Amino acid sequence: MNPLAAIVHANGIAVTGCDLDPAGAADLVARGIPVATGHDPSHVDGAQAEVVTAAVSSDHPELGRAHDLGVRVIQRKRLLAELVAGSRVVGISGTHGKTTTTTMVTEALSAAGLEPTGITGGRVRAWRGNVKIGSPGLYVVEADEYDQALLELYPTIAVVTNVEPDHLDSYGSVAAMESAFVRFAERAEVVIAGTDDAGANRVAQQLAGTVWSFGLGRGDLAITEVEHSPTGTSATLSVPNRGAVRLRLRVPGLHNVRNAAAAVGVVAALDAPLEPALEALAEFEGVGRRFERVGEVGGAVVVDDYAHHPTEILATIQAARQA
């Protein structure tokens, strides 16, 4: 919700918010957006619209007040779609890696001179929040599979990092979930899909348009000559119509090499210069709660990581062994 509030506010529209714990909205307060503690029906008074997340129950008192007043209620996923409509959109989808890849793509495109607006699900230190407001003509957004939110978007370029069973309460079956990824991706002019993942492969095989695959030792964006060290990772990456480049990262883990390969693919698909994008990726420091080093106690490094799916936990452990 924070990025959408920030963008609407930047467009000159008055925005207010509320949360049981407004500490997570400090970036909005810093932008001059009032954020109240707790919920109250009076918050809706005088509003033209109320924006809610899928987590808000239908019997929420503020929703009831909005209905009584005839105030338009907009789901977060619908507002996102309305904000980016008519612009070029890079939609980053997948069970894992969306937040990091979205941030990488935004930073790479910014360095390449395209000035995108980036909307991500984690806090980025350099952004002082989870939105980077740039040009309204190009958006880089997370295309979340939860609540089938990705189906609200019509991307110019779609990234499918991987597809594994998750949020099945929103779909009912793995087949239905994979079908949603197909419907999302088939709207794009170019799709960039992870070939190391069986689910993403199944999705890519059902697409008729231009698909660039990325993976270890294979695909249009083939990752080879990977070298790990405590200070980062490097790899050679083949890029369609551009030849081979050397990718260097500070953030650990093979999963981040894949994320960065997808980001380079987006830069190439938008016909932007690769060298400044590669330099930006080499300086990329990561995203909050994605293998975030938060301190040291008794000689032990403390890391905060959002990983909660078995595949994500494994990737985090592997990254820790590297670092």
Count of structural domains within the chain: 3
142 labelled catalytic: yes
Which residue from 18, 11, 12 is spatially nearest to 2, judged by alpha carbons? 18
Same domain for 111 and 178: yes
Q: 185 is in which domain, residue-wise?
A: 86-283
Co-location of 61 and 144 in the same domain: no
| Prediction pTM value | 0.95
Q: Are both 180 and 233 inside the same structural domain?
A: yes
Whichever domain contains 127, its CATH number is 3.40.1190.10
Tell me which of 50, 62, 142, 164 is the catalytic residue. Answer: 142
Q: Catalytic residue, from 50, 62, 95, 98: name it.
A: 98
| pLDDT tens string 56-86 | 999 999 999 999 999 999 999 999 999 999 9
Q: Which residue, among 282, 285, 273, 288, has the nearest Cα to 109 in the 3D structure? A: 273
Does residue 106 share a domain with residue 48? no
Question: CA nearest 304: which of 321, 283, 282, 320?
Answer: 320
Say which of 77, 95, 99, 132 is annotated catalytic: 99
Tokens of 38: 């707790």
Nearest to 194 by CA among 255, 143, 278, 239: 255
For the stretch 150-176, pLDDT in tens is 999 999 999 999 999 998 999 999 999
CA distance to 30, 63, 159, per residue, from 265 (Å): 35, 42, 9
For residues 41 and 113, state if they share a domain: no
77 is catalytic: no
Same domain, 106 and 204: yes
Tell me: do 242 and 300 sit in the same domain.
Answer: no
**Is residue 281 over pLDDT 90?**
yes
- Same domain assignment for residues 22 and 57: yes
Same domain membership, residue 199 and residue 218: yes
98 labelled catalytic: yes
Residue 95 within any structural domain of the chain: yes
58 shares its domain with 194: no
Cβ contacts of residue 248 below 8 Å, gap of 6+? Answer: 232, 233, 234, 278, 281, 282
Domain boundary among 74, 100, 120: 74
Structural domain includes residue 237: yes
Whether the per-residue pLDDT at 323 is higher than 80: the answer is no
Distances (CA, A) of 186 to 181, 196, 203: 8, 20, 10
Assess contact for 28 and 34: CB atoms under 8 A. no
Helix (H, G, I), strand (E, B) or coil at 136: coil
Q: 131 with 245, same domain?
A: yes
